[in-house]
Structure 1
Amino acid sequence: MKILIESSGLFLQKCGIQRYAEEIIYGLLKQFPQDNLKLLPLTEISKRSAQLKYFFDNKEINEQTIQTNFTSFELFVSKTYAELIKKIEKTNETISTQSQFTQNHFLTKTKREFLRCMKSLLTLTLNETKFIRNRLQDINIYHQLFDFIPSDIKKINSLKKCLTIHDIIQAIRPDLMIGKDNSAAIGAKIKKIGTNETIFAVSQYTKNDLCNFNKNIDPKNVHVIHSGIANHFQPISDQKVIQDVISKYQIPKQGRFILSGFTSDPKKNVPFVIRNYLDLIKSEKIDDLFLVLTGGNKIFDNNLLKKELEIINQNKDKIILTGFVEDDEMAVLHSSCMCFCFPSLYEGFGLPVLEAMKCGAPVITSNVTSLPEIAGNAALLVDPINNDDFQTNLLKLYKDSNLRNTLSERGIQRASLFTWENAVNQMINVYHQLM
């Protein structure tokens, strides 16, 4: 059995899909000989090829475009592209050392040289399908870890095709997405999922969403395989390590803190958390409970969170913004927080909930979408649009240490059920069934 994994997920910024690709590929590599498992970043190849074609077709070669960096493509096996990269780097190095007059001369000369390379580039683009087919020789199974199976791959009848679906939020809840509404395009792609495609869904909820949206999909052909949790998420008890991280992020040492995320992603429900936290400490006159919001700039638009940022600035003594936090330090924060709040409006899986649980953090999360399935009885489930429900449960955790301990123990036990080893083994079992 020879498998080809579409590995473009590895090139994404750090996110759930990137981690999924990383862990699944790593797990498969441990189980298969190198000759039996190939990686091909097909989506990334198509994207970079299109970028390069646009680069040449516009014929606007200037210093800025010459310095354009297509670093991801350097990882690919395109000899033509490697030659182009060398020309770009060599030309840029030469231009930077010359006078303005000479630079202009070089730019003109470079334009002619690059246009001569256009034939090679177009050959690469036009032969992309041939290149891909060569990579697929002797392959039995093709697995798309995210996005949809390309039409050229669908046409290869001898190939068993697998597809992982993480969620279909873009099709059914575009109001919870940032940017251009492409729900129609995504919906059309979901409708075109072939009856001969074997589907892996990361949760039963995602499977139900998918089968309800595309009635032509046979539920028997959709396999629910839960994701796992990275090994570095573990309870941290070393007080020196904890205090170092607490100090680094300037979290007050007197009192306790709630941990949650900070992102402009609408489905994460950040304004809801901030508003209810402030209302609770005001109404209950609580002065020893802080809110720590973690998150980088992956999906971050200051305009979308303008009001929240103003509120945070007005309450700097109570709300701490950490910025991006590495996984090992997230484990420390999870291990030392009073609770982790994740009242998301929509999830296809809910990995942050399990990461918190694995570290022993009591969890409050939503009673909608996939989250009850993932959390089980190891978290407090709340209505993510009901202020009273959220505040009541948050106050319970604040007052009841026995409840916190119970949820911590249940959470660790619950999280232990979700491992990448199990996910990979279940996936391999399906591969064998296809042969």
Structure 2
Amino acid sequence: MKVGIVTSAYDRKREKGGTLQYTRRLVKKLKKKHGDEICLIHPVKSEDSLYEGVEEIIIPAGGKLQFLGIPKLQSAIVEKSIDAMHVLVQNSADLFNFLVLDIPKILTVHDLYLFLDRNPSLDVEFSKLLLQSVKSLVDRFIVPSLSTMKDLRNILNVPETDIRVIPEAPDVSFKPGGNKTRENPYILAHHLHPVGLKAFARLKKGGIPHKLLIFGESYGTEEDAKNMGIREDVEILGYVSKEELIALYNGAEMFIRPIWYEGFGLPPLEAMACGCPVIASNVGSLPEILDDAALLVENEVNQWVEAMTRVIEDDGLRKDLSERSLSQAEKYSWGKTAEKTYQVYREVTEKD
């Protein structure tokens, strides 16, 4: 068996973003045990370690012009005796690969956020249209949670028999330990639903000494914090390296995940792997993935204030959440993710 894995999106964005980390971690695990059974399909020859010791197909056409490379890809697939193809992200550019004929095809759908976006851009609308158009060409969908499987079934009418739930995982480097890099207490967040900022503002007025640190895209949080009079207490970190992130998780008094939709929930799971107490919105996949190891609350300011106050004031609760977090994170591993993915490859290539 030989499976072509499309890594074009990884080439475009490298380390940034959860779906790109999915590509890197999954491919590295597959290479370790099944390296002679995979071939990576991407647009430009690269010195990146992801491509060391593995067969490649280079298709120069990329981005929105990906479809121009389909004839060349079709020929390469025949030449390399590729038995199946796996597209790792549902980006519009990569969906054109489903125009390849005569082999089983697999698509990982990380979430259906683009169908729930309240203010979709033209690019999002194009991606939605393309995904709806190619869904009938997909033999198996891989999703990271039962919640996303339900979304896929309800929004795109994909039969449950064509969906395989394979959770993702924190990298093994996310673990407790290391020196604290900050003296003052802080609360950590990734992106931020407005309810989280409002709850923090109320807690600041109540006299807590904490800062709020936010990594990733800020989505207007800086202006909102200024309007609430707490700008000096909010640090917008932007993109941080993995090493910086591990240190931030380890030093945080808690990690908060106020959000209106979630397809899996990797940041709170990474926090848990570092033993950091987690509070999260009771939405999407989060109850399923975090279970009783986190405090799950509705997106209502009073509930967030109450939960955050409990974690700040109750040493025993923080210790209990930390211990439960470590146990919960241990349930997930990239070894399991890779092997379950490999079984899907076997399934689609042997089904006839």
TM-score normalised by the shorter chain: which range applies? 0.7 to 0.9
Q: Structure 1 pair 354/276, CA: closer, same or farther in 2 (3 Å)?
A: same
Q: Structure 1 pair 221/12, CA: closer, same or farther in 2 (3 Å)?
A: same
Q: What is the rounded CA distance, in whole Å, between the counterparts of 1:182 and 1:300 in structure 2?
A: 20
Residues 183-218 of structure 1, C-alpha deviations (whole Å, 9 max, x = no match): 375055235412651110111111100011122x22
User: Gapped runs of 5+ residues in structure 2?
Assistant: 46-55
2:147 to 186, 199, 205: 205
Residues 59-87 of structure 1, C-alpha deviations (whole Å, 9 max, x = no match): xxxxxxxxxxxxxxxx98479x9xxxxxx
2:211 to 267, 290, 295: 290
User: In the alignment, does 2:347 pair up with 1:407?
Assistant: no
Instruction: Give 1:235's aligned residue.
Output: 176
User: In the alignment, does 2:79 pair up with 1:164?
Assistant: no
Note the C-alpha offset of 1:430.
1.8
Say if 1:168 and 1:209, in contact at 8 Å, map to a contact too: yes
Instruction: Give 2:50's aligned residue.
Output: none
Instruction: Give 1:110's aligned residue.
Output: none
Q: What is the rounded CA distance, in whole Å, between the counterparts of 1:15 and 1:231 in structure 2?
A: 17
Q: Structure 1 pair 125/324, CA: closer, same or farther in 2 (3 Å)?
A: closer
Instruction: Give 1:273's aligned residue.
Output: 196
Note the C-alpha offset of 1:8.
1.3
Say if 1:8 and 1:40, in contact at 8 Å, map to a contact too: yes
Q: What is the rounded CA distance, in whole Å, between the counterparts of 1:317 and 1:127 in structure 2?
A: 50
Note the C-alpha offset of 1:258.
0.9
Q: Structure 1 pair 350/388, CA: closer, same or farther in 2 (3 Å)?
A: same
Q: What is the rounded CA distance, in whole Å, between the counterparts of 1:343 and 1:405 in structure 2?
A: 22
User: In the alignment, does 2:22 pair up with 1:7?
Assistant: no
Q: What is the rounded CA distance, in whole Å, between the counterparts of 1:152 and 1:195 in structure 2?
A: 10
Instruction: Give 2:188's aligned residue.
Output: 259
Residues 69-115 of structure 1, C-alpha deviations (whole Å, 9 max, x = no match): xxxxxx98479x9xxxxxxxxxxxxxxxxxxxxxxxxxxxxxxxxxx
Note the C-alpha offset of 1:315.
3.4
Note the C-alpha offset of 1:281.
2.8
Classify the secondary structure of the residue corresponding to 1:211: helix
Residues 356-409 of structure 1, C-alpha deviations (whole Å, 9 max, x = no match): 00001000001011111111100000112x011111111111111111111100
Instruction: Give 2:117's aligned residue.
Output: 174
User: In the alignment, does 2:303 pair up with 1:380?
Assistant: no
Q: Please, what TM-score do these two structures have when normalized by structure 1? A: 0.69
* Structural mapping, 1:353-372, within 5 Å: 353-372=268-287
Q: What is the rounded CA distance, in whole Å, between the counterparts of 1:400 and 1:125 in structure 2?
A: 54
Amino acid at match of 2:189: S
Q: Structure 1 pair 205/328, CA: closer, same or farther in 2 (3 Å)?
A: same
Q: What is the rounded CA distance, in whole Å, between the counterparts of 1:163 and 1:24 in structure 2?
A: 14
Classify the secondary structure of the residue corresponding to 2:212: strand
| Root mean square deviation of aligned Cα | 2.8
1:430 to 337, 344, 352: 344
Note the C-alpha offset of 1:25.
1.1
Note the C-alpha offset of 1:153.
4.1
Say if 1:174 and 1:183, in contact at 8 Å, map to a contact too: no
2:69 to 128, 153, 166: 128
1:348 to 263, 268, 285: 263
Residues 277-315 of structure 1, C-alpha deviations (whole Å, 9 max, x = no match): 111231xx32422222223xxx456xx446325248x53
Amino acid at match of 1:7: T
User: Gapped runs of 5+ residues in structure 1?
Assistant: 46-74, 82-123, 247-252
Amino acid at match of 1:2: K
- Identify which range, 354-363 or 315-324, moves more after superposition: 315-324
Q: What is the rounded CA distance, in whole Å, between the counterparts of 1:18 and 1:182 in structure 2?
A: 18
Say if 2:250 and 2:274, in contact at 8 Å, map to a contact too: yes
Classify the secondary structure of the residue corresponding to 1:348: coil
Classify the secondary structure of the residue corresponding to 2:135: coil
Q: Structure 1 pair 77/162, CA: closer, same or farther in 2 (3 Å)?
A: closer
Classify the secondary structure of the residue corresponding to 2:147: helix
Q: Structure 1 pair 194/342, CA: closer, same or farther in 2 (3 Å)?
A: same
1:416 to 324, 330, 345: 330
Q: Structure 1 pair 341/135, CA: closer, same or farther in 2 (3 Å)?
A: same
Q: Structure 1 pair 126/311, CA: closer, same or farther in 2 (3 Å)?
A: closer
Classify the secondary structure of the residue corresponding to 1:182: helix
Note the C-alpha offset of 1:151.
5.6
Q: What is the rounded CA distance, in whole Å, between the counterparts of 2:275 and 2:67 in structure 1?
A: 53
Instruction: Give 1:103's aligned residue.
Output: none
User: In the alignment, does 2:159 pair up with 1:218?
Assistant: yes
- Percent identity between the two aligned chains: 25
Residues 215-242 of structure 1, C-alpha deviations (whole Å, 9 max, x = no match): 2x22011000000111211101x4xx32
Note the C-alpha offset of 1:136.
0.5
1:26 to 18, 25, 28: 28
Instruction: Give 2:235's aligned residue.
Output: 320
Note the C-alpha offset of 1:181.
6.6
Note the C-alpha offset of 1:11.
2.2
Number of matched pairs: 330
Residues 23-54 of structure 1, C-alpha deviations (whole Å, 9 max, x = no match): 111111112244x3111126x89xxxxxxxxx
Say if 1:12 and 1:18, in contact at 8 Å, map to a contact too: no
Q: Structure 1 pair 289/219, CA: closer, same or farther in 2 (3 Å)?
A: same
Classify the secondary structure of the residue corresponding to 2:287: helix
Larger relative CO (CA 8 A, sep 6+): 1 or 2?
Answer: 2
Rg larger in 1 or in 2?
1
